[in-house]
Chains A and B, each alone.
Chain A
Amino acid sequence: MNNPYIPMPTRIERITTENEARDIKTFDLSFVNNEDRDSFLFLPGQFAELSLLGFGECPIGIASSPTEVGHLLFTVKRTGFVTKHLHRAEVGDTIGIRGPFGNSYPLDLMEGKNVLIIGGGFAFTTLRATAMYMLEGSNRARFKELTIVYGARSPGELIYKQELWDWEKSTDLNMFITVDKGDETWKRREGFVPTVLEEIAPSSQDTVALVCGPPVMIKFTLPVLQKLGFPPDRIFLSLEMRMKCGIGKCGRCNIGHKYVCVDGPVFSCAHLGELPQEY
């Protein structure tokens, strides 16, 4: 009987500060025990509970794709008690990890279709994992056209900047980067993600949309997607909820009869429509 509450020890290999406000950091972890690493099989979209002994745990989406061997990335914004102390961690410290939990983005449904990824602010973590997974050599052919629309409040708040610039140049996908308000050095597009999405107007023909971002962005993005002809069962959202156990026992992360930690965090809009609007 293995104990589902015991975290697996990992070592922090690298910490990169993602934004100017320095309150978003990406932690690259490596497992201390190899059998933990081998047992930690996940798909893009899943999350894990990061555990800091003495402070507690917090559920964070896995930002790296399973194809990035030797890397396990978690991007964490400093908001609460545990994340505040996680931001004080240094390279070489040991933190615990439990998981992988939840479901992934619907890779089988996306197979052989176009994929539209819409991200906002620091909620681009699991979407980055999905993009990396799709762009990986052998996987790329399984999917047709990939379009990414990603925006943030200001240029300094964009995360994974290096990958963004590489993807912009790459021909494997169409990358659209925007900021709500640029500054003098900003030469690219300016505007909210929903308005940019309307301008680009990608065809909804045979396309699956993955959306993740702050509630206000989702509120204005969904109508645009509907206008573009995306049916609710081909729009997927990744939700955030207060969580403690991550395994469907502690009873707090439910939306209707679905637990976000077990039946989510990825839900299709159609599915969400059936559930009570209490999230």
Chain B
Amino acid sequence: MKRVESELIENVEELLREKKVDLFIGYESGSLPLQTSPCFVTQQEDVQKLVWNSFCANNLSVYLSSLMRELPASTKVGILCKGCDSRSLVNLIVEKQVKREDVVIVGISCPGIVNIDKITNKLDGRKVLEVEENDEEIILKYDVGEDRFSRMDNLYESCKNCVHPTPSVYDVLIRVGEHSPKSVTPDPMIAEFSQKSRTERWQIFEQELSRCVRCYACRNACPNCYCKECFAEQTKPRWFGLTNELSDVLFYHIVRILHQAGRCVDCGACARACPEKINLRLFTRVLVDEVRERFDYVPGLSPNDSPLLAMFSNDDSQEFMVEAD
């Protein structure tokens, strides 16, 4: 990982030195062990702060839509993109929120991000002093003794099923994991959930979302959610209540997920941001599979795609239409 970090720092230093970029968005080590935090580098001397490890979880493309509105038109923004981050960025380009020429993308072929909750649950209070990692393992060093965790077993669900670890668009690529895209499979979790009976599915849907406190972290962490005025905060008209009662919470999540149809790249940022650890991917991933099977469409692969729901074809299937019997 150290090689990748130094390569990254070299690239960013060069970008800044040659004024190709006014600002670079990357990761810095977090204030807590096993965590990283987004960081915005503008000066050359801050470049040393940049890191790359298995905990660089945030989808940095989320900052681009608001940045492009605030910064003067000519500013060039550099960004570090994993596979899914780059697809979110391509989606922003396709939806005209970001211009490709305004962004310099340093891509990383992503080996998969480790889910820190799976590890911290096993710590039971011991304090981690230092974290090291190699291609297979995460090594946690305590004041006395250490623990080894296999990377593959502790990846986030969205990383386990990742089909596009290499960024779909980049200016510079840093090779990390050498693995070709996995076979295209519907997510096993979705397939298994679909087998359940209707009432059971609704009961799980209600149960999971009954813990929601409506903090909107899932929406604010998602690069696709860039609307200036979200339907959830509209007051003329107010579509649904402000309470955290079940019907309001379900209304918000159903409509937000429907807004991701044909746009969600399944990066898992919403599920990671949720403080209540609600398994949101169980409900967002279904449309990702449906969109691939029904329309053979995968969002975020090339900037000259057009959005799924902005196109149609004459022979789209319509078996679901009701017919008079």
Q: In chain B, residues 228-261, which have Cβ atoms closer than 8 Å to a Cβ of chain A?
A: 235-236, 238
Q: In chain A, residues 63-83, which have Cβ atoms closer than 8 Å to a Cβ of chain B?
A: 81
List residues of chain B with CB within 8 A of the CB of A81.
235-236, 238
Closest residue of B by beta carbon distance from A84: B236
A113 to B45, CA, bound (A): 62
List residues of chain A with CB within 8 A of the CB of B238.
81
List residues of chain A with CB within 8 A of the CB of B235.
81
B contact residues, range = under 10
List residues of chain A with CB within 8 A of the CB of B236.
81
A244 to B: closest C-beta gap in Å: 12
Q: Chain A, 81-112, contact with B by CB distance < 8 Å: what is the 0/1 string?
A: 10000000000000000000000000000000
A81 to B236, CA, bound (A): 7
Taking chain A's interface residues, is the majority helix, strand, or loop, or is none over half, making it mixed?
helix
A81 to B238, CA, bound (A): 10
A81 to B237, CA, bound (A): 9
B238 to A: closest C-beta gap in Å: 8
A82 to B: closest C-beta gap in Å: 10
A81 to B234, CA, bound (A): 11
Q: Chain B, 212-232, contact with A by CB distance < 8 Å: what is the 0/1 string?
A: 000000000000000000000
A137 to B: closest C-beta gap in Å: 46
B106 to A: closest C-beta gap in Å: 38
Q: Chain B, 92-104, contact with A by CB distance < 8 Å: what is the 0/1 string?
A: 0000000000000
A52 to B: closest C-beta gap in Å: 15
A81 to B235, CA, bound (A): 8
A239 to B55, CA, bound (A): 48
A126 to B238, CA, bound (A): 32
A66 to B235, CA, bound (A): 35
A18 to B238, CA, bound (A): 30
B235 to A: closest C-beta gap in Å: 6
Closest residue of A by beta carbon distance from B237: A81
A214 to B303, CA, bound (A): 47
Q: In chain B, residues 20-79, which have Cβ atoms closer than 8 Å to a Cβ of chain A?
A: none
A253 to B238, CA, bound (A): 22
A228 to B238, CA, bound (A): 48
Closest residue of A by beta carbon distance from B236: A81
B8 to A: closest C-beta gap in Å: 39
Closest residue of A by beta carbon distance from B235: A81
A143 to B: closest C-beta gap in Å: 43
A220 to B238, CA, bound (A): 37
A203 to B: closest C-beta gap in Å: 47
A179 to B: closest C-beta gap in Å: 31
B241 to A: closest C-beta gap in Å: 13
A74 to B235, CA, bound (A): 24
B237 to A: closest C-beta gap in Å: 9
A254 to B51, CA, bound (A): 40
A180 to B8, CA, bound (A): 61
A15 to B: closest C-beta gap in Å: 24
A86 to B: closest C-beta gap in Å: 15
A23 to B154, CA, bound (A): 62
Closest residue of A by beta carbon distance from B238: A81
A174 to B299, CA, bound (A): 71
A140 to B: closest C-beta gap in Å: 45
Q: Chain A, 236-254, contact with B by CB distance < 8 Å: what is the 0/1 string?
A: 0000000000000000000
A191 to B210, CA, bound (A): 60
A5 to B: closest C-beta gap in Å: 16
A134 to B107, CA, bound (A): 73
B44 to A: closest C-beta gap in Å: 34
A-B contact pairs, 3 of them (CB 8 A): A81-B235, A81-B236, A81-B238
Chain B contact residues, CB within 8 Å of chain A = 235-236, 238
Chain A contact residues, CB within 8 Å of chain B = 81
The 3 closest A-B pairs by CB, nearest first: A81-B235, A81-B236, A81-B238
